[in-house]
Chains A and B, each alone.
Chain A
Amino acid sequence: MNSREQILGNVRQALKRAAGQIPTTLAAPRLRIPLSDRNLYTTLFGQNLEKLAGKCIFVREPGEVVPALAELLQGKRAVASNAPFLATCGITALSEVESGFTDREQLRAACAVAEVGITSADYALAETGTLVLLSSPQEARMISLLPPMHIAVFPRARMLANLDELLAVLPNPAEQTSSMVLITGPSRTADIEQILVRGVHGPGEICAVIVG
């Protein structure tokens, strides 16, 4: 008997259940989505991200993104994801920005030396100041992870109230991606003497640019 059969057998014996027995019905998931004014979400998002020492920039239209980022990007090596919205904003056309990677090793090598990683965000959660990134041909995992600074540029329409609204919109994220990550503020640790230090493994600086 292999371990699988043994473990499942032991579980069934302990629970006095037969193989293939269907469980009792489970109540529908309780998703708590506040019914507040959607216009307030971006402000709330900004406040929450800033509480975590993140930065939030609001611009009216895609054309304003590049000037708004000029100071942050100046003279720095950056890698941008293949998200079409970044091209719309003119970010991928900048000379200091490398983009268009399709090869894992090349992307990783570029991210390992880049000072800034620029992505879009599939969603953002107002209640917690969270960015939601789904891995895809447009969004790679390393860009928001290896460089010491992460900038996420996304349209205002992607703002959701909270985690529960995300789960209502994406009831099963596995159907769309092999990896969804929720990013709430800069990487941090308090493992030595409970003293907060940012940027231990992931980016120590994070900046959201909300367009619209």
Chain B
Amino acid sequence: MTGAQSETVKQTLGDARLQLAIYSATNRLMTHRAGAIHQDRLPDYQQLRTEANLLKKHTIDHLDYYLELFEKNVAAHGGKVVYCSDSQEVADFVLSLARERGAHLIVKSKSMTTEEIHFNERLEKHQLEAVETDLGEYILQLAHQRPYHIVAPALHLTRYDVAEIFRKNLGVESEVVIEKQTAIARVALREKFLKADIGVTGANFLVADSGAVVVVENEGNARLTSSAPKIHIAVAGIEKLIPRAQDLGVFLTLLGRSATGQPLTVYTSFLSGPRQSGEIDGPDEFYVVLLDNGRTKLLADPEKRQSLYCIRCGACLNHCPVYRKIGGHNYPWVYSGPIGAIITPQFHGVLKDPWLPFASSLCGACAEVCPVKIDIPKLLLKLRSEVTEAKRREGVGGVERLAFQMWAWLMTHPRIYLALARMSGWFAPLLPKVGPLEKWASQREIPKPAKTSFHQWWRARAENK
């Protein structure tokens, strides 16, 4: 962690209001999840997790097959799949389509994938207005912030923050009643929905055997985004595939419950193409953008590949003792929490934010609640060793290595070890105040050395018998 980063972490930890907001939001989501997966309500929860894991493993292990099957079925219903290697290609595709169709206004529903590629900023440079329509995301877009949480993007803001953001950006009177704030957003966004030329959604699942995009949501903005404008573009990572529509029984049962404790979210849209002949409304054109953006790199490692099973429910964030203290914005990328800690280094290289895999107590809560059973702690350990290895190759991190080498040497030389251990009582209290241990000790309680060592106690005990 750089100095600037540890400064913002300290700010977060010292902000009592923010700490309470993170604590109560994650607590609420945890409680709701626990109720929804309770033995009485979902007796086969563990079997469903196993099933989901096997389905995801199967799909990812045969991803090329399912991508082509999906593509074929999208085409069969009159839609089109567009493969994009990176964010630039997504922007180029949307821009050229917008130009051809004379489109100016894009409405967007919540999508982590488009956050990942800074979609809105890229389009705005070309005079295309892209408006977020999920209430939380809309507020964040007005405030120029990124999501704080995968599921609850604006959990760090209060109604007073929102009042200020709306007053400044929408030219309305300051309004602090949440129902009225919601109504302000409804009116402002309804106008956008009805005027928009293109709707861009994400996708929770891409169903290979149907060529369908499945979008889950509670507000209705994704339904409006996908069905009011004449063009619907769904942007999704290539890992979002599942083999069959019937597999949704497993995935939808787990997703809503793991995310917010809902057996089903308010709206689940199963969208498989432009409107068919005779259908009164719906888009005339339907595109699915399949994004790589580094995902194929992750595939190569048979163990780390499982990071791609993630269905973005956010349960690991809510249950993570680290996320619950430092919040979402202290993570370097849009994906925060334990899942962010394992995918960010794999996308950006382990040395970009080498502290990430270490920002974990390895308590295992994330793995326990993951609906698709990603072994997050194991991957964190693997990434830690990759960070250490990469540092060695780069010739950094020498002090730590030297310390462990000395430790190893000491542990294999018991006499010297014992001699030093006897002396430790004198100089141990000084250690954290000087040298490299000073930083380490600033975050930890240094135990006081005992007056007698274990060895001394054991010997004395034997003699007294």
Q: Mark A177-211, 1 if CB is under 8 A from B, else 0.
A: 11111111111111111110101111100000000
Which of A37-45, A60-68, A166-174 participates in binding chain B? A166-174
Whether B266 pairs with A187 at a CB distance below 8 angstroms is yes
Across the interface, name the chain A residue whose C-beta is closest to B252: A163
Whether A15 pairs with B267 at a CB distance below 8 angstroms is no
User: Which chain B residues in 1-51 approach chain A with CB under 8 Å?
Assistant: 21, 24-25, 28, 44, 51
Query: CA–CA, A177 to B296, complex, Å?
Result: 33
Whether B44 pairs with A32 at a CB distance below 8 angstroms is yes
A167 to chain B, nearest CB (A): 5
B374 interfacial by beta-carbon distance below 8 Å: no
Across-interface contacts of B292 in A (CB, < 8 A): 3, 7, 10
A88 interfacial by beta-carbon distance below 8 Å: no
Across-interface contacts of A107 in B (CB, < 8 A): 280-281
Whether B272 pairs with A200 at a CB distance below 8 angstroms is no
Whether A136 pairs with B25 at a CB distance below 8 angstroms is no
A150 to chain B, nearest CB (A): 10
Whether A101 pairs with B280 at a CB distance below 8 angstroms is yes
User: Which chain A residues in 12-35 approach chain B with CB under 8 Å?
Assistant: 12-15, 17, 19, 21-24, 26-27, 29-32
Across-interface contacts of A7 in B (CB, < 8 A): 67, 83, 85, 238, 290, 292, 296
User: Which chain B residues in 94-145 approach chain A with CB under 8 Å?
Assistant: 133-136, 139
Which of A70-78, A89-97, A127-135, A152-160 participates in binding chain B? A127-135
B330 interfacial by beta-carbon distance below 8 Å: no
Query: CA–CA, A201 to B194, complex, Å?
Result: 12
Interface contact tally, CB-CB below 8 A: 261
A192-B135 in contact given A140-B281, A178-B279, A182-B267 (Cβ < 8 Å): yes
Query: CA–CA, A189 to B267, complex, Å?
Result: 12
Across-interface contacts of B157 in A (CB, < 8 A): 192
Whether A137 pairs with B280 at a CB distance below 8 angstroms is yes
B362 interfacial by beta-carbon distance below 8 Å: no
Interface bin, chain A: 35 or more
A192-B218 in contact given A31-B246, A182-B264 (Cβ < 8 Å): no
Whether A173 pairs with B68 at a CB distance below 8 angstroms is no
Whether B246 pairs with A29 at a CB distance below 8 angstroms is yes
Whether B159 pairs with A192 at a CB distance below 8 angstroms is yes
Whether A8 pairs with B220 at a CB distance below 8 angstroms is no
B224 interfacial by beta-carbon distance below 8 Å: yes
Which of B58-66, B381-389, B418-426 participates in binding chain A? B58-66
A145-B182 in contact given A11-B67, A163-B253, A173-B245 (Cβ < 8 Å): no
Across-interface contacts of B221 in A (CB, < 8 A): 200-201
Whether A173 pairs with B153 at a CB distance below 8 angstroms is no
Whether A202 pairs with B85 at a CB distance below 8 angstroms is no
Contacting B68 at CB < 8 Å: which of A6, A8, A31?
A: A8
B132 to chain A, nearest CB (A): 11
A163-B248 in contact given A103-B280, A192-B135 (Cβ < 8 Å): yes
B75 interfacial by beta-carbon distance below 8 Å: no
Additional A-B contacts beyond A11-B238, A178-B282 (12; CB < 8 A): A11-B67, A14-B296, A15-B64, A22-B65, A23-B62, A32-B249, A167-B246, A174-B212, A174-B245, A182-B264, A192-B178, A201-B223
Q: List 10 A-B contacts (CB under 8 A).
A: A24-B62, A30-B249, A32-B249, A140-B281, A142-B281, A178-B77, A178-B271, A187-B220, A192-B178, A199-B186
